[in-house]
Amino acid sequence: MTIIIRGDIVFTPRPDRFTVLEDGCVAVGDDGRVTQVAGSPSDIRLRGTRASGDRIVPTDDAAPRSTVDSGEPEPRVIDRRGCLVIPSFVDLHVHAPQYPMAGVGLDEQLLRWLENTTFPVESHFADPQVAGTWYRRFLHRIWRVGTLRFSAFATLHEESTLMLMGLCQESGLRPVVGKVNMDRNAPEELLESTRDSLESTRRIIGKSRAATPDIGYVVTPRFVPSTTPELMEGLGEIVREFGLPVQSHLDENRSEVEWVRRLHPDVPTYAQVYDRFGLMPEGRTIMAHCIWMTQTERRLLRERGVWAAHCPQSNLNLASGLMPVRRDLDAGIKVCVASDVAAGHDPSMPRQIVSAIETSKAKTFETGHENDRPLALSEAFYMATKRPGEFFGAIGRGRVGTFEPGCDFDALVIREEDGNPLDLPPEGKLARFIYDGDDRDILERWIAGRTVPEPFA
Amino acid sequence: MTIIIRGDIVFTPRPDRFTVLEDGCVAVGDDGRVTQVAGSPSDIRLRGTRASGDRIVPTDDAAPRSTVDSGEPEPRVIDRRGCLVIPSFVDLHVHAPQYPMAGVGLDEQLLRWLENTTFPVESHFADPQVAGTWYRRFLHRIWRVGTLRFSAFATLHEESTLMLMGLCQESGLRPVVGKVNMDRNAPEELLESTRDSLESTRRIIGKSRAATPDIGYVVTPRFVPSTTPELMEGLGEIVREFGLPVQSHLDENRSEVEWVRRLHPDVPTYAQVYDRFGLMPEGRTIMAHCIWMTQTERRLLRERGVWAAHCPQSNLNLASGLMPVRRDLDAGIKVCVASDVAAGHDPSMPRQIVSAIETSKAKTFETGHENDRPLALSEAFYMATKRPGEFFGAIGRGRVGTFEPGCDFDALVIREEDGNPLDLPPEGKLARFIYDGDDRDILERWIAGRTVPEPFA
């Protein structure tokens, strides 16, 4: 049976403007996919009915009924008038075990912050008790803020990675997750042998397919400095063998880029190191940061169809630099906005959208408004919904992030403020939510046509 | 009777580090002022007792009693162990009537944003119904986020400005408020004659002294472009006559600075225009933004002891520029962090503290880390507590923002997170709150030794 969600519908089929249906409708089929978006319930066509006689007339309480007997059951109208209905957020770069350290140690830059704060936290995830407590808190928070799909780094620990995947399955959220691989340049308690790393990865892939079918696996070398060529080679084989996606870090910090250069003097650029080892599979790779890319790397990312996860809050916190987002977009790179929790301290994608806009404005102070036109709100929203949502479509887990027909209905229902003197249109109300709302304004969360109840409350 | 608040005490007598008393105490006298800060209740000296016999021994339930009969009543211990006790926040630049537009129209820069969003909103405050609703919402929000003292712009409307002052008095919050003065370069519905502007200002000063004794008046020319020389002249007289403080805007946007130059070709700099008209009274002036100051202006602000209200979120939102905070601090200017709601979209001072740190890092991308060393967390916290709190001391309304003896006990009690694997010290817990906490973590708000209940809920 079709359901029809009625409210103020706002989404971004394209980045340059919002598509708005004030008191509009989204129709969703049995399979949880959007079938149609329309101005009113009466404009929704029922499957299998005649084109001329398939209108639905809403009754006073907004429950529509067919005017002809088409043999179809009547659709159920979910009346959310006075609310915004928007695509839920998609975050393609987040470190689940770093959630307990959000805000800590940010007077330092990347490499010292990894050593002094990140590695000590992640080593605690060897303990299943810590992992259980904090992965539950993380998932509860990410549900609260309306990020219903994401791509997460776990730690290198097999048991706690499987636990995270199990908790994701239990929560109803639909992320991809990867065990971190690292066999060099980390403290002893966070190192594994190349062989252990590869075997453990294969075990997790095997076990999780059966145990957590709704949670995808994503191959996750931490970054070039912490993975030997042998490990990258082996991971490249796993990627090919299972057709899996890859996530990692690229060109975040200038000292890091220099380090990679020293580690791989025979490879011209950082990105080409991943590519050489088969870790940039076409149309299913996420690379975080991408601040210091060369033109060669830009070309490579475009050719491979890589999602470049722009993490503006993280980049400021660790003083990594300002990604030249406008130039990367103009170069045809699939830039999306991501949180990078916990170098980004706030899991809320609205806060990351704002940070992306703000840093794009800061970029113009260096280079001029004409060269690096700042992101408009609709663009940054697109980069946190439809653009990263395509990743899930590409790996066969449902295209999300927009209400175009065929997409999974992943959505948030958001309370609208009353009595604003500006009498704002829906996109203005959305701007108010993005800039100054919070999780208390989100009334419902939908994944693939079903509401997701609060997990681990 | 003295009260003793016991918990994890954190504050910043100086900017370069936190003063931390883990399970410490603040003693507060009858007059609401801090008398002493100590490591435990037993270290608190009671007034009038002998130096050698004035220890208090805490009992098991932490209620101390005197070991000698000193004739003093026993102090009441407020047990807030497991909580942070910090100075409440002070925001020296906020536009109360702009609260309903937070997040709206931010794809534009200052002068167009004023025209298209700000002036339309402010003109609605001619209506007491709108003013009543939205000033209540504003005060409720500002209470929630723990900003207990602030300096607010109202609109030019006399009735609604008096209403705002009345609501402030009723709320228990202790701000200063000013009616905006503007007699040129604004839409017709937001213009007043020079004479009306001055007479209305005098009436508000007179009425509010009797009706709202706890709320100060601050003379508030909007900015040079919207005030004629005659109006500035008249406001300067009011400042001298009543010994009042002044707040305005300075050097926010390059087009604005150029405009001021054209309006006052005989005055070398923007700041000197205010000074020429007596609108920079020594030790009681707030100037917001101060991004594009010349060396002459820096010297003048230092000489006049002006509080420069740095509004980092606003400056990014309106693409105004990055204030060279480190250089201004090194030049001896009293820089504080402020929200500038609603060009800054978030009334929460913790968010503004983070934004100040982030933009100070962005500044290093232009000029290098050595020249513009970013703000440390303790510095930015100082700039949102002790530094702006001195303003209230300077105008005779109680020094706040720190727990040094003689200061009004203005404080927040903040829930501490349990079970963090990093086993953080109090300043680490404070960092977690500043970066990733919200109003739900604030359990109590204190002004001058008394808790302030939720207003207008």
- Given this model, what pLDDT does residue A64 score? 44
Which whole number is the average pLDDT over B282-294?
98
**Mean residue pLDDT across chain B:** 93
Span A113-136, average pLDDT: 96
Is the pLDDT confidence value at A205 over 70?
A: yes
Contact map slice: A 217-256 vs B, CB within 8 A: none
Q: CATH number for the B89-394 domain, one of 3.20.20.140, 3.40.50.620, 3.40.50.12780, 3.20.20.80?
A: 3.20.20.140
Does the beta-carbon distance from B435 to A346 stay under 8 Å? yes
Q: pLDDT class for B108, splitting at 50, 70, 90?
A: confident
> What average pLDDT does range A359-368 have in this prediction?
90
Residue A431: per-residue pLDDT: 97
**E-state strands within A39-141:** 56-58, 64-66, 76-87, 89-95
In this prediction, residue A40 carries a pLDDT of 81
A424-440: pLDDT as tens digits: 999 999 999 999 999 99
A322 to B369: CB separation less than 8 angstroms, yes or no: no
Quote the radius of gyration of chain B (alpha carbons, Å): 22
Residue among B104, B428, B431 minimizing CB distance to A431: B104
Contact B419 A359 (CB under 8 A): no
pLDDT tens per residue across span B345-395: 999 999 999 999 999 999 998 888 778 899 999 999 999 999 999 999 999
Q: How far apart are CA A121 and CA A101, in angstroms?
A: 7
Stated as kind and residue range, the H or E segment containing B220 is: strand B220-221
Q: Inter-chain contact A103–B424, Cβ cutoff 8 Å?
A: no
Per-chain mean pLDDT for chain A: 93
Per-residue pLDDT, averaged over B3-21, amounts to 97
Question: Which pLDDT band, with edges at 50, 70 and 90, does A69 fall under?
Answer: low
Cα–chain-centroid distance for residue B324? 20
The Cβ of residue A423 has, within 10 Å, a number of other Cβ atoms equal to 8
Cβ B62 vs Cβ B42: under 8 Å: no
Interface test with B, best of A18, A94, A104 (most B CBs within 10 A): A104
So what's the pLDDT on residue B328?
97
CA distance A408 to A370: 38
Superfamily of domain B3-87+401-451: Urease, subunit C, domain 1 (2.30.40.10)
pLDDT tens sequence across A249-288: 999 999 999 999 999 999 999 999 999 999 999 999 999 9
Q: Decide if B394 touches A, using CB distance below 8 A.
A: no
Average pLDDT over residues A213-237: 98
Of B103, B313, B376, the CB nearest to A107: B376
Do the beta carbons of residue A10 and residue A20 sit within 8 Å?
yes
Chain B 287-316, residues with CB within 8 Å of chain A CB atoms: 313, 316
Phi (first) and psi of residue A45, to 5 degrees: -90, 135
Question: Which residues is A285 bridged to in the sheet?
Answer: A246
pLDDT in tens, B85-100: 999 999 999 999 999 9
CA distance B208 to B216: 8
Interface test with A, best of B135, B361, B414 (most A CBs within 10 A): B361
Indicate whether A230 pLDDT > 50: yes
Of A400, A379, A381, nearest to A176 by C-alpha is A400
pLDDT confidence bin for A51, thresholds 50/70/90: very low
What does the pLDDT read at residue A318?
Answer: 95
Instruction: Average the pLDDT over each of A65-69, A78-82, B70-74 and give the range with the smallest value.
Output: A65-69
Q: B203 CB near a chain A CB, below 8 Å?
A: no
Residues B170, B150: Cα–Cα separation, whole Å: 15
Sequence spans of domains, chain A: 3-87+401-451, 89-394
Decide: residue A27, CB within 10 A, 0-12 exposed, 13-18 middle, 19+ buried.
buried
In this prediction, residue A109 has a pLDDT band, given cuts at 50, 70 and 90, of confident
pLDDT digits (tens, 9 = 90+) for B148-203: 999 999 999 999 999 999 999 999 999 999 999 999 999 999 999 999 999 999 99
Q: For residue A178, what pLDDT is reported?
A: 98
pLDDT of B74 reads 79
Mean pLDDT of B338-350: 98
What average pLDDT does the segment A78-91 reach? 97
- Residue A39: pLDDT band with limits 50, 70, 90: confident
Q: What is the pLDDT of residues A384-421, one digit of tens each?
A: 999 999 999 999 999 999 999 999 999 999 999 999 99
- B256-287 burial, b at 16+ Cβ within 10 Å, e below that, comes to bbebbeebbeebebbbbbbbbbbbbbeebbbb
pLDDT at A72: 65
In angstroms, the Cα distances linking B319 to A8, A365, B146, B252, B378 are 30, 8, 28, 10, 26
Say what the pLDDT of residue B41 is.
78
Distance from CA of A238 to the nearest CA of B (A): 33
Residue A53's CB is within 10 A of a number of other CB atoms, namely 12
pLDDT-derived band of residue A357, with 50, 70 and 90 as boundaries? Answer: very high
A266 in B contact zone (CB under 8 Å)? no
Cα(A170)–Cα(A151) distance, integer angstroms:
17
Per-residue pLDDT band at A62 (split at 50, 70, 90):
very low
Give B1: exposed, middle or buried? Use CB within 10 Å, 0-12, 13-18, 19+.
exposed
How far is the first Cα of chain A from the last one, in angstroms, to the nearest whole number?
31
Q: What is the mean pLDDT of residues B294-321?
A: 97
Between CA B12 and CA B376 the distance in angstroms is 12
Q: In this model, does residue A342 exceed pLDDT 80?
A: yes
Strands (E), A147-289: 147-153, 176-178, 180-181, 216-217, 220-221, 246-250, 285-289
